[in-house]
Amino acid sequence: MAEEDPEPRVLVVLPDGQVLNGILRGRRRDPDGVWWYQTTVDIRATSVQPVPGQDYGSVPTVVQDTYPWQFEAPDTPGETTGILHRGDCTVATGRLTPMSDPVQARAFLREGWATACETCGPDPQ
């Protein structure tokens, strides 16, 4: 793995076709040959519910006012290639995930998980 990519990124495709950005944390193969991947995914807070009795006070929190890029997830079932936009792109629509990490943005373009928007021409350097 390249030194600039310390954590391998993955796209997690849910049964309803929704695509989430993720990080591959580990993998295992069961005795019957089935592979399981342990991932961390970015999920909008409105889709997460706290568990009663859990303390979330020590969870690292980042507040970011603007993002240099945003990923537009594919809207066609079975499609795995989205579109990478600049954060200020006016044609970005649909399910958008903000991106602040240039390494992640470059990886999405390099691995074919996204194509660059033809309108805004993002260039994550």
Q: What is the mean pLDDT of the chain?
A: 85
Give me the domain span that covers residue 111. Answer: 9-45+64-116
Per-residue tokens: 116: 């660059």
Average pLDDT of each block of 10 consecutive residues along the chain (125 residues)? 62 82 90 93 82 91 79 85 90 86 89 92 88
**Predicted local confidence at residue 65, as pLDDT:** 67
Please give the tally of structural domains in the chain: 1
- pLDDT at residue 122, as a whole number: 92
- Whether 107 maps to a domain, the answer reads yes
pLDDT digits (tens, 9 = 90+) for 30-42: 999 999 999 988 7
Check the CA dihedral 97-58-26-14 and report its sign.
negative
Each residue of 21-56: b (16+ CB within 10 Å) or e? bbbeeeeeeeeeeeeeeebeeeeeeeeeeeeeeeee
Domain membership of residue 56 (yes or no) is no
